[in-house]
């Protein structure tokens, strides 16, 4: 016969807060506390927490308009947009740096990086200040692929394979 895990009232409060504030999935909470997902569900329901899959109201990252999103989508994305126009205006804003694209500057950047790091097929050379004409070592980073590069631009914590500021 297996022994059932007993939770303290502090742990139950932590479960409720994690579910409501950090939007932690029930299955993850169950794994953390060593109990079943159904036990987590029971704790939440007894506390009066809505466990339905309804959408939550959040604000657009670009214009501040209220929009509805599911908890899973909120967890998955760092920024949320009400329309494509807001998404593209957010990208154009570029965290305060305008994007200066120059193909020749990008080729030169790859050559500079090759002197310090072995570039492989698929590696992406990133300009930290979004100006492809600025090829100083401290402005250059290398990402494993375009997926990591895009996640970095969207604000996720992605470590580059190489950084010029480390030299």
Q: What is the pLDDT of residues 8-53, one digit of tens each?
A: 999 999 999 999 999 899 999 999 999 999 999 999 999 999 888 8
- Examine the domain organization and report whether 158 and 135 are in the same domain: yes
Q: Please report whether residue 3 resides in a domain.
A: no
- Examine the domain organization and report whether 111 and 148 are in the same domain: yes
Range of the domain at 32: 9-46
Residue 6: phi and psi, rounded to 5, are -105, 135
Reduce the DSSP state of residue 141 to 3 states and report it.
Answer: strand
Structural domain total, the chain: 3
Q: What is the pLDDT of residues 93-148, one digit of tens each?
A: 765 556 677 888 889 999 999 999 999 999 999 998 888 889 999 999 999 999 99
Handedness of CA 75, 81, 84, 87 (dihedral sign): negative
- Examine the domain organization and report whether 125 and 78 are in the same domain: no
- Examine the domain organization and report whether 35 and 62 are in the same domain: no
Q: How far apart are CA 27 and CA 141, in angstroms?
A: 37
* Residue 102: count of CB within 10 angstroms of its CB: 14
- Examine the domain organization and report whether 110 and 128 are in the same domain: yes
């Amino acid at each position: 016969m297996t022994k059932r895990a007993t939770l303290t009232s502090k742990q139950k409060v932590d479960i409720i807060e994690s579910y409501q504030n950090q939007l932690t999935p029930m299955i993850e909470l169950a794994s953390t506390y060593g109990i079943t997902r159904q036990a987590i569900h029971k704790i939440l329901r007894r506390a009066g927490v809505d466990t339905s899959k309804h959408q939550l109201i959040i604000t657009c990252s670009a214009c501040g308009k209220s929009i509805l999103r599911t908890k899973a989508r909120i967890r998955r994305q760092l920024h949320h947009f009400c329309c494509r126009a807001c998404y593209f205006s957010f990208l154009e804003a570029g965290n305060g740096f305008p994007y200066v694209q120059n193909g020749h500057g990008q080729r030169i950047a790859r050559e500079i990086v090759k002197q310090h790091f072995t570039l492989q097929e698929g590696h992406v050379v990133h300009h930290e200040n979004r100006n492809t004409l600025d090829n100083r070592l401290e402005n250059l980073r290398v990402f494993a692929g375009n997926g990591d590069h895009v996640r970095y631009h969207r604000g996720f914590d992605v470590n580059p394979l190489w950084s010029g500021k480390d030299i």
